[in-house]
Amino acid sequence: MTRSELVAALADRAEVSRKDADAVLAAFAETVGDIVAKGDEKVTIPGFLTFERTHRAAREGRNPASGEPMTIPAGYSVKVSAGSKLKEAAKGK
C-alpha cells in the first residue's frame, strides 16, 4: 500500500477529506520522528505498535568489496515492535 492509498483508506474510514487525512498522517509521522530522535521515551499505541530508539555498539565488520576488516562506529537505530492486536491480524484472526 502506498502513502496515497493509505491516505485514501484513512479518509474513507474516518469520513474526512483526503487533505485532512494526509495532514494527520504527516503530523503523526513527524511527532513519532521527534520523540524517537530525542531517544528518552517510547511511542506506544497499545495493541498495535511501539517505536523506540536503540543504541548500537561499535563493532568489527568486513568491507564487502575488499573483504578487509573495518570498524563500524557506534550509532542509533529504531526498533518497531508489533503489538498483540497487530500480531493477531497478521495471523488472519
Task: Please give the grid coordinates belonging to residue 80.
Answer: 518497531
Question: What would the pLDDT profile of 46-92 be if each residue is shown by its tens digit?
Answer: 999 999 999 999 999 999 999 999 999 999 999 999 999 999 999 98
Q: Maximum distance among all alpha carbons in the chain?
A: 57
Q: Domain residue spans in the chain?
A: 1-38, 39-93
What's the pLDDT at 84? 94
Pick the CATH number of 39-93 from 3.90.800.10, 3.40.50.300, 3.30.70.100, 4.10.520.10: 4.10.520.10
Question: What would the pLDDT profile of 6-57 be if each residue is shown by its tens digit?
Answer: 999 999 999 999 999 999 999 999 999 999 999 889 999 999 999 999 999 9
pTM value? Answer: 0.77
CB of 36 within 8 A of CB of 51?
A: yes
What's the pLDDT at 92? 87
What's the pLDDT at 93? 66
